[in-house]
């Protein structure tokens, strides 16, 4: 879904937007494209003379019969062969140039999309499905670049042939030419109406394809959950509905766009019949030669072909515009607000963090964080607890500047983070999330992700800290073992341990642990807690925990409820207060 203004706009505005943005995007390639057009024009011009020469050969044969002048005929035949060969060479050169342009344009366009993804706010990805974004980067880019190279070749050839053929036809017979020309405006009007009608279905086709890709991605990622809940039938049915919708949109788009060819063909054939009848009459009254009629009929055939090809390109053009619209709507999405200028820095980080009357809502209507204020001394181990939906993860999102507060300030060592570059703020923290993520690469490469210059001894020390060293060394190739694309060659607990070790390798000034021990067993959890105590010693850290047993040693526990801090203190103090924390804690250990 693009910006609201564009999405709600009519198809004419969207088409203009798509064409304008597409035209602007190919500006760096104008020289190559112009050169390819010139090659096409040259190829078409060379091919224009062959019907006239063939007609001349026919007239020579008729006029010199029975003593046919084979010498003159052979000379013209050689000229025809040379023209055909030269035209073919130029046409191949044009195709070669366009292939190079298309490949580079595709590469540049995908790089722009990747760069755009990096500059979009997190809120965009919260509101849009990954499958749709992936579809824009793959399917839509392929459609756009393929259509571009095809249309530049077809249109430049067709327009040149059309103009050239019209000129040659006029030199042979003006009356016959007028009969051929009368079908052009009729065809253009009809094809234009059909193209406008078909566009909305091409737009629907590309949008539905994005939805379909999202469903495929979701179903594939959640295949185990689908099977464990016997949800295959419902998932298949939901996919089928979207697939049917795509089939209907594609069918309508192709049906209406394909009308342009037969409609054009009807008018051109009617003109062709009239030309044959009139041409025969002109030969009888000797105002035209047989060779002239032969050449004119060949030109009529060539005249009809570019008209037909231009008509048939409406399908490709509609696909191009639909794909272009989706791509450039994405590239025009609002980006993160620019960093504060001049951006401030913290020369020597101490780790004092303060929230000052912070308020925040995701939609600008429903408040999630309400007047949140707390001051954390350097080196404090802070635990944030509370029921689901209390705002715990939102606090971390604000701290990392994934979102900006609606009001209030977050300050690190006396400097508001809104006046620090986002990248600099995020480098201050090492994050370990509940949702583990490893990329396809070696164990060593995954552990170096946050610190490329880390030595092997640093990596091994972090692995030992996380009690995963023996697991890594037991792998087939140790630290050089490849992690598969879906990380399915390591267990969930091992993935969690690797992400923790990755944060430790980065050695950041502060840490954020969002339910970081959720996927490990009790014994491993105990070992990780010991490692956490080592790495968090003297370092400001924020721990979100649902298992309250894991944060008993925290220096400060913030108890949240409905976006506010309702209690704060250490474990013993909060238990003695017998408030909301004690209620949460006791409910977890009621059986014990």
- 77-91, 141-155, 374-388, 412-426: range with lowest mean pLDDT: 141-155
| Res. 53 pLDDT band, cuts 50 70 90 | confident
pLDDT value at position 399?
93
* Strand residue runs (E) in 314-445: 353-360, 369-376, 381-385, 407-412, 415-416, 429-432, 441-442
Nearest by Cα to 250 from 179, 202, 178, 189: 202
R_g of the chain computed on alpha carbons: 35
Residue 412 pLDDT greater than 90, yes or no: yes
Region 369-375: mean pLDDT is 92
DSSP 190: H
pLDDT value at position 516?
62
- 116-120, 317-321, 563-567: range with lowest mean pLDDT: 317-321
The CA distance from 356 to 376, in Å, is: 11
pLDDT value at position 531?
67
Domains of the chain, start order: 4-331 (1.20.1560.10), 353-588 (3.40.50.300)
Q: Select the more confidently predicted residue: 10 or 490.
A: 490
Listed in sequence order, the DSSP H helices in 332-436 are 392-399, 422-427
pLDDT value at position 145?
86
pLDDT value at position 9?
32
Its pTM surpasses 0.75: no
Judge whether 17 and 11 are in contact, CB under 8 Å: no
Residue 15 pLDDT greater than 80, yes or no: no
Sign, Cα dihedral of 236, 242, 248, 254:
negative
Listed in sequence order, the DSSP H helices in 468-559 are 469-473, 492-506, 522-536
Nearest by Cα to 425 from 453, 397, 454: 397
pLDDT value at position 384?
92
Q: What percent of the chain has pLDDT over 90?
A: 16
| Res. 76 pLDDT band, cuts 50 70 90 | confident
Chain centroid to CA 228: 32
| Res. 520 pLDDT band, cuts 50 70 90 | low
């Amino acid at each position: 879904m693009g910006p609201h203004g564009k999405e709600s706009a009519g198809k004419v505005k969207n088409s203009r937007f798509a064409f304008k943005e597409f035209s602007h995007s190919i500006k760096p390639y104008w020289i190559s494209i112009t050169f390819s057009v010139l090659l096409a024009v040259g190829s078409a011009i060379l091919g224009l003379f062959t019907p006239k020469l063939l007609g001349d050969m026919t007239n020579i044969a008729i006029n010199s019969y029975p003593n046919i002048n084979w010498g003159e005929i052979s000379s013209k035949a050689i000229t025809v062969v040379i023209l055909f060969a030269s035209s073919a060479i130029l046409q191949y050169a044009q195709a070669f140039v366009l292939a190079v342009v298309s490949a580079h344009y595709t590469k540049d366009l995908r790089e722009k999309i990747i760069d755009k993804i990096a500059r979009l706010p997190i809120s965009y990805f919260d509101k849009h499905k990954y499958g749709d974004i992936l579809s824009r980067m793959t399917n839509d880019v392929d459609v756009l670049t393929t259509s571009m190279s095809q249309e530049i070749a077809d249109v430049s050839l067709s327009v040149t042939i059309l103009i050239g053929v019209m000129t040659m036809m006029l030199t042979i017979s003006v009356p016959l030419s007028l009969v051929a020309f009368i079908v052009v405006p009729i065809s253009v009007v009809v094809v234009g109406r059909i193209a406008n009608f078909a566009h909305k279905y091409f737009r629907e086709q590309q949008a539905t394809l994005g939805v379909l890709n999202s469903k495929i991605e979701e179903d594939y990622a959640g295949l185990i959950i689908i099977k464990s809940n016997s949800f295959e039938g419902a998932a298949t049915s939901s996919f089928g509905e979207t697939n049917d919708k795509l089939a209907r949109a594609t069918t309508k788009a192709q049906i209406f766009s394909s009308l342009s060819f037969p409609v054009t063909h009807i008018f051109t054939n009617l003109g062709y019949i009239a030309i044959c009848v009139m041409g025969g009459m002109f030969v009888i009254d000797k105002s035209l030669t047989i060779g002239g009629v032969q050449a004119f009929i060949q030109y009529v055939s060539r005249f009809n072909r570019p008209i037909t090809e231009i008509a048939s390109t409406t399908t490709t053009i509609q696909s191009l515009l639909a794909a272009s619209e989706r791509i450039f709507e994405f590239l025009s999405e609002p980006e993160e607000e620019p960093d504060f200028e001049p951006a401030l820095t913290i020369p020597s980080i101490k780790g004092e963090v303060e929230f000052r009357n912070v308020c925040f809502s995701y939609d600008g209507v429903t408040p999630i964080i309400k007047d949140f204020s707390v001051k954390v001394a350097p080196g404090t181990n802070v635990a944030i607890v509370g029921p689901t939906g209390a705002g715990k993860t939102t606090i971390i999102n604000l701290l990392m500047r994934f979102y900006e507060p609606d009001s209030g300030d977050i300050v690190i060592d006396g400097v508001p983070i809104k006046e620090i570059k986002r990248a600099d703020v995020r480098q201050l923290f090492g994050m370990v999330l509940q949702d583990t993520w490893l990329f396809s690469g070696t164990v060593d490469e995954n552990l170096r992700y946050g610190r490329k210059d880390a030595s092997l001894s640093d990596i091994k020390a972090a692995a030992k800290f996380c009690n995963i060293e023996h697991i890594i060394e037991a792998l087939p190739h140790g630290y050089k073992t490849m992690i598969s694309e879906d990380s399915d060659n390591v267990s969930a607990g091992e993935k969690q341990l690797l992400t923790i070790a990755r944060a430790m390798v980065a050695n950041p000034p502060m840490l954020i642990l969002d339910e970081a021990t959720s996927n490990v067993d009790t014994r491993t959890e105990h070992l990780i807690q010991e490692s956490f105590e080592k790495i968090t010693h003297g370092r400001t850290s924020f721990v979100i925990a649902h298992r309250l047993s894991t944060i008993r040693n925290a220096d400060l526990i913030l108890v949240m409820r409905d976006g506010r801090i309702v209690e704060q203190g250490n474990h013993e103090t909060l238990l003695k207060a017998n408030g909301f924390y004690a209620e949460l804690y006791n409910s977890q250990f009621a059986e014990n």
